Amino acid sequence: MTQIATLIGARGADSVTLELVDSLRNAWGGGDAVWLSPLTAAEFPMDSMPDNRWDVWSDLQRLGVDLIVQQGAGRRKKMLLADMDSTMIQQECIDELADEAGVGARVAAITAAAMNGELDFDGALRERVGLLKGLPESVIADVLEKRITLMPGGAELLATMKAHGAYAALVSGGFTAFTGAIAAKLGFDENRANTLLEKDGFLTGEVGMPILGKQAKVDALEEITARLGLSEHDVLAVGDGANDLGMLKRAGTGVALHAKPSVAAECDVRVNFGDLTALLYLQGYSLDEFSNC
């Protein structure tokens, strides 16, 4: 079965050169190269998966280039299932709230450990939310406006996939107060997340039950594909944390985006330098196919 090798660099880094692509194509006996974006992304077909794939991947990482090798058939997906924190946005929303509450360093340390898979997600979430007790609910809107920024390439990713008929779901271990806003801004068809409980305008330090963690993301994949009449192979999933691994492994293409090392090590598709437009390039979309946002 035909395999496709895709080389992707950071936008504007000009790291994917003609010499680099031709050298790898010749070494692997690949077919003609297709330039998806000059000096940023290129691909070529091969008859089989190279035995030295990960050795070459390591070499290219030192050059600031991501390498994805996958089957050519069925690359363009009909559904996007995305994590939010450090994936569709550049921050961890609970860390930003904690900073406003004066417990930022303590909560950030728990977040990092949980995303590395060192702590139970549910327990870590309860502990962090507990530290937010007494924070005015109005702070959420302030954080959204002043602290939260979109991950580069997200608007292009959503607009292009949706223009080609894909369904998009945002599923987060974060909070509905954030996923609702981000989903609306980017054009997701639905969003799922945890609920911060409040009383009299202040956070109670508790989270609504049940907690949406790792299994909830797998459940979302199963439920949404069943509802839409899609297969799991039709799904492109993206995330960065340990609680994303379930959906990343089940999806047809699971992308570890700027992921924690322990997470990336379990995924075949890793994007460490490209932004979210890399998810279009690895599906075979060229720059001139991107939808205007």
- Which of 22, 55, 59, 83 does the annotation list as catalytic? 83
**What's the full length of the chain, in residues?**
293
The string of DSSP codes covering the chain is --EEEEEEE-TT---S-HHHHHHHHHHTT----EEEETTTEEEEEESS--TTHHHHHHHHHTTTEEEEEEESTT-S-SEEEE--TTTTBSS-HHHHHHHHHT-HHHHHHHHHHHHTTSS-HHHHHHHHHHTTTT-BTTHHHHHHHHT--BPTTHHHHHHHHHHTT-EEEEEEEEEHHHHHHHHHHHT-SEEEEE-EEEETTEEEEEEPSSP--HHHHHHHHHHHHHHHT--GGGEEEEE-SGGGHHHHHHSSEEEEES--HHHHTT-SEEESSS-TTHHHHTTT--GGGPPP-
Distance, CA of 216 to CA of 83 (rounded, Å): 12
Cis peptide leading into 210, omega within 30 of 0?
yes
Active site residue 85: yes
Selected catalytic residue, list 66, 85, 95, 244: 85
Residues involved in catalysis = 83, 85
